[in-house]
Amino acid sequence: MKYLDFVNLTYKPKETDLTCTFIVEPEGISLKEAAGAVAAESSVGTWTELTTEKPYVKRLAAHVYSIEGSVVKIAYPTELFEPSNMPNILSSVAGNVFGLKALRNLRLLDIEFPKNLAESFKGPAFGIAGIRRLLKVPKRPLVGTIIKPKLGLETKDHAKVAYDAWLGGCDIVKDDENLSSQSFNPFEERLVATLESRDKAQDETNERKVYMVNITAETNLMLKRAQSVVDQGGEYVMVDILTCGWSALQTLRDQDFKLVIHAHRAGHAAFTKSQVHGIAMKPIATVARIIGVDQLHVGTVVGKMSETKAEVLENIDACKSKMGGLKPVLPVASGGLHPRLVPALMETFGNDFVIQAGGGIHGHPDGTVAGAKAMRQAVDATLYGKTLEEYAKSHLELKLALSTWKA
């Protein structure tokens, strides 16, 4: 089969097909042939005709079924993939094809799994509804923070910052992506001390509080750390899903630790930032959900991250849209957030998301407790339909935050 044999613009994808949407930019060949090259090289074809090809192989060929501008859609027979094996799936549709000389650029925009393939994975254990039940927060956005500075604090100070954040009104406190088990803040000591702070804050505020400790490590060590969280009475773990890898993430999920999995996407921009090459965040979100995370960073629109509103909305859709019988994932907005940005965030996300602010809480002039109060006040004001400026007249923490972080 030649590359053009994989192009069939009259083909109608089957319910059992896996489909991908790409941006294809050819190098020295026609767009149609380049699209066929992607389909061929990611299924049963290669650059030349083969003497080993059998007639029955053709039924496993991928089909280019749509070409509009540079946007190409390809359908893959589900028989090409081993169920519950994400490395196999991604090695096919997002593997060698990115290195073809015949392509100047290739970007994977979307991936849609057939029901049987999606449901061969466990998917989220908790999802949005389970997280809300755990935290006993039925409607409003959840308010979270990241311990800052991200590295450098000793265990005692880390636990104190967490306590202050919870005391001020945060529901969630989490480690940052590169805090592991450094000598100045060892994992086990941090876990015990910070959960003690959680318990104290819960007693004093009469609100549920959770701690997302970063368990990212070599897979076996990651599993041991997850078990430690269970043993110490924790309910959450945080994982850097891209740097630890899909197989490690799946191994963690398959243990059924009964822990909420918070997915940090550290390193994603190496794949996602270019608009013409690489992998968009939406397929990454789809894969993470299918494997089984419960929460996922998706961008902010506002704040310090570069994604556009359209991209963030696509990421949210990947978290929440119907996907077989899989539970929806709770989107997380994080990166350069502060109280003044809350109305814009809620306009984009609605109420089902986590507002996760680090510097925007710990950078409050009156400290972490006041910073957490200001963030909760901004959420309340927006829920009540009041402007932040109006609400700040009777809430001093919010007033000071607005004077600190301008529009």
Indicate which residues carry an active-site annotation: 148, 264
Give the integer Cα–Cα distance in Å for 306 and 223: 33
DSSP letter string over 220-249? Answer: HHHHHHHHHHHHTT--EEEEEHHHH-HHHH
The residues, ordered by sequence, that sit 6+ positions from 4 with a Cβ below 8 Å of its Cβ are 32, 33, 36
* DSSP-based three-state secondary structure for 328: coil
Q: Is the Cα dihedral 359, 363, 368, 370 positive or negative?
A: negative
The residues, ordered by sequence, that sit 6+ positions from 50 with a Cβ below 8 Å of its Cβ are none
Burial 298-313 (b: 16+ CB within 10 A, else e): bbbbbbebebeeebbb
Residues 390 and 381: beta-carbon distance below 8 Å? yes
Give the integer Cα–Cα distance in Å for 30 and 36: 10
Q: Any idea which residue has 């994808």 for tokens?
A: 13
DSSP letter string over 252-320? Answer: HHHT----EEEEE-TTTHHHHS-SSSEE-HHHHHHHHHHHT-SEEE---SSSS----HHHHHHHHHHHH
Torsion over CA of 193, 261, 285 and 117, rounded to 10 degrees? 160
Torsion over CA of 386, 392, 397 and 399, rounded to 10 degrees? 130
Give the integer Cα–Cα distance in Å for 194 and 182: 16
Give the integer Cα–Cα distance in Å for 344 and 300: 9
Residues 135 and 126: beta-carbon distance below 8 Å? no
